[in-house]
Amino acid sequence: MSALLAGAALGLAIGAACRWLDIPSPAPPTPVGALLVVAMTAGYVAAGQL
């Protein structure tokens, strides 16, 4: 559980740094692309639990 929280915190920190420094974000710019990243992350976490 701590790895999941650390990953979420790191993702938010990278996103905030990209916004503040005006550099392109490494995330997809569309909601569908963002949902794909969330789905892949959820699958990774679920597979790790099994």
pLDDT tens digits, one per residue of 16-38? 887 888 888 776 777 887 777 88
Q: How far, in Å, CA of 3 to CA of 15, rounded?
A: 18
Q: In terms of pTM, does the model score above 0.85?
A: no
Tokens linked to 20: 């503040």
The torsion angle over the Cα atoms of residues 12, 15, 21 and 26, rounded to 10 degrees, is: 150
Instruction: State yes or no: pLDDT of 1 exceeds 70.
Output: no
